[in-house]
């Protein structure tokens, strides 16, 4: 539960920072040299929406074992990690990774890659916890496979 609150806070803050600097987000994402123009704008919108969905869901329902916000969080985390890893591997200079838009700027370097690795590790933990959550109405007190109440 604490992990969801922390991640919800971080991802909501990321989305707010990116929204507040939305006019610059396509240019920031273009520095990764994978998308440009309209595609960079679409990617910016997708990342912001994903961050808001999982961030607010984690904050509003931190005990929820619903898989939807976990998969949205994982998708957003994978995209940011792939952007960073490929740019770093190619030796690109990215002055602002863009995680918080034009706020809390951070140069792309090994430290960002470590942060991304932790975010992906957290995604794995969340996926595992979502899969091993309560069994719900088909558990020990619900109906068995034949539909007979136990």
Neighbouring C-alpha atoms within 13 Å toward the C-beta of 134: 8
Predicted local distance difference test score (pLDDT) of residue 150:
54
Predicted local distance difference test score (pLDDT) of residue 129:
85
Q: What is the mean pLDDT of residues 54-74?
A: 94
What are the tokens at 118?
Answer: 């932790």
Q: Coil, helix or strand for 143?
A: strand
pTM of the model: 0.84
Q: Is the pLDDT of residue 138 over 90?
A: no
Question: pLDDT tens-digit profile of 12-24?
Answer: 999 999 999 999 9
Which of residues 80 and 150 earns the better pLDDT score? 80
Q: Coil, helix or strand for 149?
A: strand
Taking phi first (over 0 means left), then psi (-120 to 50 degrees means alpha), and beta for anything else, what does residue 147 get? Answer: left
Nearest Cα to Cα of residue 17 among 119, 94, 101, 104: 101
Predicted local distance difference test score (pLDDT) of residue 34:
96
Which of residues 145 and 3 earns the better pLDDT score? 3
Nearest Cα to Cα of residue 76 among 109, 102, 45: 45
Looking up tokens 């992990």 gives 3
Quickly count: other Cβ atoms within 10 Å of residue 41's Cβ: 16
Burial class (CB in 10 A: 0-12, 13-18, 19+), 54: buried
Question: pLDDT tens-digit profile of 28-40?
Answer: 999 999 999 999 9
Contact 135, 13 (CB under 8 A): no
């Amino acid at each position: 539960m604490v992990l969801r609150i922390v991640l919800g806070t971080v991802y909501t803050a990321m989305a707010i920072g990116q929204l507040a600097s939305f006019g610059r987000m396509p240019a920031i994402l273009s520095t990764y040299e994978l998308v440009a123009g309209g595609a960079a704008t679409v990617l910016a919108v997708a990342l912001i929406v994903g961050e808001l969905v999982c961030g607010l869901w984690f904050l509003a329902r931190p005990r929820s074992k619903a898989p939807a916000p976990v998969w949205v969080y994982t998708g957003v985390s994978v995209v940011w990690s792939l952007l960073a890893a490929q740019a770093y591997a190619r030796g690109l200079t990215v002055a602002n990774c863009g995680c918080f838009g034009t706020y809390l700027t951070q140069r792309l370097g090994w430290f960002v890659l470590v942060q991304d690795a932790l975010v992906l590790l957290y995604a794995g933990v969340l996926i595992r916890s979502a899969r091993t959550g309560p069994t719900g109405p088909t558990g020990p007190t619900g109906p068995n496979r034949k539909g007979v109440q136990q």
